[in-house]
Amino acid sequence: MKKLVFIALAITSTAFGQQVIVKKDGSKLVAADVNVHSSKRQIEFKANGKEDKIAFSELDSAVIDKKVLKRFDIGNKARLYYVLASSKGKSLGVISSKRNRDRGGFSSVVTLYEVVVIENGKILQELKFTQSKTQDEVRKRKEFYDIANRYFGDCDGFIKRLMLFDNGTDPDNLILLNYLDNPEKISCK
Residue pLDDT, tens place only, 88-146: 999 999 999 888 888 888 888 899 999 999 998 899 999 999 999 999 999 999 999 99
Residue 7: pLDDT over 70: no
Residue 17 pLDDT: 58
Please state whether the predicted TM-score (pTM) of the whole model is above 0.85: no
Residue 78 pLDDT: 80
| Spatial separation of the C-alpha atoms in residues 137 and 119, rounded to whole Å | 26
Residue 46 shares a structural domain with residue 91: no
Residue at 173 is within a domain:
yes
Total domain count, the chain: 2
Residue at 73 is within a domain:
no
Residue 8 shares a structural domain with residue 61: yes
Residue 2 pLDDT: 42
| Spatial separation of the C-alpha atoms in residues 52 and 186, rounded to whole Å | 29
Residue 182 shares a structural domain with residue 107: yes
Residue 147 pLDDT: 96
Residue 131 shares a structural domain with residue 189: yes
- Domain of 1, in residue numbers: 1-65
| Spatial separation of the C-alpha atoms in residues 165 and 176, rounded to whole Å | 5
Residue 106 shares a structural domain with residue 187: yes
Residue 91 shares a structural domain with residue 168: yes
Strand order in the sheet with 122-129: 50-55, 42-47, 28-37, 19-23, 59-64, 67-74, 77-87, 90-103, 106-119, 122-129
Predicted confidence band of residue 180 (pLDDT cuts 50, 70, 90):
very high
CATH number of the CATH domain containing 4: 2.30.30.100
Residue 68 pLDDT: 94
